[in-house]
């Protein structure tokens, strides 16, 4: 019955989404980043990351452009997003227990003393994830992908 | 890619474990409760709950006894347990992200600005679950299973 480390855990897709959003937020405005470079810096398999990027683009958190000057770029909405928004864009609403699904009152909630504990646990976690803004995380030790190469080629 | 309400969620087994522990903690000491009654009051399928009870017994959180005067009873350890302990007895250690697996440092943690956010989110959630003691939850509106029947048969 024990399934260590499997339940209550973020999906790999959402984990990669946070990594890639932070990396894109660290890139200079107007610069587009290529998929292989994003895959390398986020330690994500390229084909899987491609699907994550599609989903982020679909949710308006990044812009993608095909062709010679193409690549991925964070959108203005993405720059203002929190970790919670990025995770929920990929995984859907975070709910620690199915009794918390909004719009569908749990029939046990009036008599279940665990229900308010789940609400408090969920709120405590979501507060942390909502306060962590992608643009602020990007200011912490994250190197823009192409700056070192640009300096290298200029010297 | 979006899988609403599936990730970061408690297993049904752990949810039932919390329900059943609270119910057993509300029962008078020395009273053993039968599986069908526990299944009914926790809204859990009997065969599935039986496996949950086996796991709780294996972890020393409840005692089970077969035979005529048999049934399930919370152990002293179970009475002192928190919701976190009950959940982890069933699902294993709670980890919101695989980067938090203890004893296995994430190779990205030194350069990943999301890592400390995950640590804070996890700690905020675990604090709530650790502070919620099964015995205290049982004091809130939880009816012992047999008291009404006992009163009924005495009148």
Look at chain B and report how many structural domains it folds into: 1
Decide if B42 is inside a domain: yes
Residue keyed to tokens 């980043």: A33
Decide if B121 is inside a domain: no
- Nearest by CB to residue B125, choosing from A1, A90, A125, is A125
ipTM score? 0.84
Decide if A149 is inside a domain: yes
Decide if A1 is inside a domain: no
Decide if A47 is inside a domain: yes
pLDDT tens by residue, chain A, 155 residues: 554 445 778 899 999 999 999 999 999 888 899 999 999 999 999 999 999 999 999 999 999 988 777 899 999 999 999 999 999 999 999 888 888 876 667 778 777 889 999 999 999 999 999 999 999 999 986 777 775 454 444 43
Lowest model confidence (mean pLDDT) among B2-6, B87-91, B100-104, B122-126:
B2-6
Chain A nearest-CA distance from B67, in A, is 25
Decide if A66 is inside a domain: yes
| Residue A69 token pair | 């000057």
Residues of A in contact with B2 (CB under 8 A): 55, 89-92
> B60: domain range?
12-93+133-154
Decide if B2 is inside a domain: no
Chain B nearest-CA distance from A126, in A, is 7
- Nearest by CB to residue A124, choosing from B9, B117, B128, is B128
Task: Give the max Cα distance, chain B.
Answer: 71
Q: Which of A3, A4, A6, A10 to mutate to test the interface with B (most CBs of B within 10 A)?
A: A10
Beta bridge partners of B73: B63
Domain containing residue A64: CATH number: 1.10.10.10
Is A1 in a helix, a strand, or coil? coil
CB A87 within 8 A of CB A129: yes
Chain B nearest-CA distance from A90, in A, is 5
Name the pTM for this structure: 0.84
Q: How far apart are CA A99 and CA B15, in angstroms?
A: 9
Decide if B85 is inside a domain: yes
């Amino acid at each position: 019955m024990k399934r260590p480390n499997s339940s209550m855990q973020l999906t790999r897709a959402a984990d990669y989404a946070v990594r890639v959003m932070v990396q894109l937020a660290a890139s200079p405005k107007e610069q587009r980043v290529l998929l292989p470079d994003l895959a390398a810096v986020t330690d994500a398999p390229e084909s899987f990351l491609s699907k994550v990027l599609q989903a982020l683009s679909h949710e308006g958190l990044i812009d993608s452009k095909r062709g010679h000057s193409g690549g991925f770029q964070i959108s203005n909405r993405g720059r203002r997003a929190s970790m919670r928004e990025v995770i929920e864009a990929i995984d859907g609403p975070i709910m620690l227990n199915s009794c918390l699904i909004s719009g569908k009152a749990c029939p046990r909630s009036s008599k279940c003393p665990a229900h308010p504990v789940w609400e408090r646990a969920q709120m405590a976690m979501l507060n942390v994830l909502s306060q962590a803004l992608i643009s602020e995380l990007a200011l912490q030790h994250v190197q823009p992908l192409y700056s070192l190469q640009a300096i290298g080629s200029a010297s």
